[in-house]
Amino acid sequence: MTGGAPGTTAHRRRDARRNRELLVEAAREVFREQGLAAALDVVARRAGVGNATLYRHFPRRADLVDAAFRDQLSDTMTAGEEARTATDAWAGLTGYLEVVFTVLATDRGTNDLMTTSLEGVAALEAVHAHNHRTVDELLRRGQTQGSVRSDVVVEDVLFALAALGRAVPALTAAATFDAWRRPLALFLAGLRPPSPALTLPAPALTPAQLTGTLAGL
């Protein structure tokens, strides 16, 4: 006969599930503190397991990142869904960005995910698409309602938000936790209908240009 006793097999499965849970919890902590470039052996040590166990559960860094941040990114999508239901599009947009930037200021791992590019993270691909739809819908409705200038496109906004969001960790470290509120408020003021009228220089980014720019950050 081959294989272990049923009780032994069940015990191994429980151990494997527990090790996976420990790794995901440790990854959340380490990535939140140090960003996505943190060494994976630090994650393994904090989880109390060996590197071989980590790579057995998560062969690629992207696999571990996906498991660690899936819930956080899901919360961001929920905030976007709520923002879309706002009668006042401007209030929906500003409220949504407040939620997003609060997360960017408190979690370096999520900041890395939301403001740069990492291939192979399924949850990230979903949240980027959802974020694009949320901002685009609120911008268009805001333009119809007269609260957003008519010549702004979603690529303008996503590029500026990514650049500002990327600076948030350094900003909060050098100043205060909510120091990001001032530059975000200045940016949002620029989305308002201009008075007197102001023509924006240079054409807007295309979707492909935005993707290429973010990948190069």
CATH code at position 123: 1.10.357.10
Backbone angles phi, psi at 121, to 5 degrees: -100, 100
| 196 in the same domain as 142 | yes
pLDDT at position 139 is 98
Residue 3 has pLDDT above 60, yes or no: no
Residues 33 and 104 grouped into a single domain: no
Reported as a single tens digit per residue, the pLDDT across 118-144 is 788 877 888 889 999 999 999 999 999
Separation CA 104–CA 3 (nearest Å): 48
Separation CA 114–CA 40 (nearest Å): 20
Question: Are 42 and 30 contacting, i.e. CB atoms less than 8 angstroms apart?
Answer: yes
For the chain, what is the mean pLDDT? 88
140 in the same domain as 97: yes
Token output for 131: 């974020």
Residues 149 and 194 in one domain: yes
- Which amino acid appears at position 170 of this protein? A
Residue 154 is predicted with a pLDDT of 96
Are 90 and 21 within one domain? no
Same domain, 197 and 163: yes
Residues 25 and 130 in one domain: no
Contacts of 1 (CB under 8 A, 6+ apart): none
Q: Are residues 30 and 121 in the same domain?
A: no
Counting the structural domains of the chain, the total is 2
Question: What pLDDT shows up at residue 122?
Answer: 79
Q: Quick check: 1 pLDDT over 50?
A: no
The DSSP line for 109-128 is HHHHHHHS--TT-HHHHHHH
Same domain, 135 and 184: yes
Banded pLDDT at 212 (limits 50, 70, 90): confident
Domain harbouring 34, CATH code = 1.10.10.60
In this structure, the answer to whether residues 34 and 130 fall within a common structural domain is: no
C-alpha distances (whole Å) from 189 to each of 39, 139, 185 are 40, 14, 6
Query: How far, in Å, are 110, 114, 144, 155, 161 from residue 215 at the CA level?
Result: 16, 11, 32, 14, 15
Residues 10, 70, single domain; the answer is: no
Q: List the domain range (segments joined by +) for residue 176.
A: 60-215
Q: How confident is the model at residue 190 (pLDDT cuts 50, 70, 90)?
A: very high
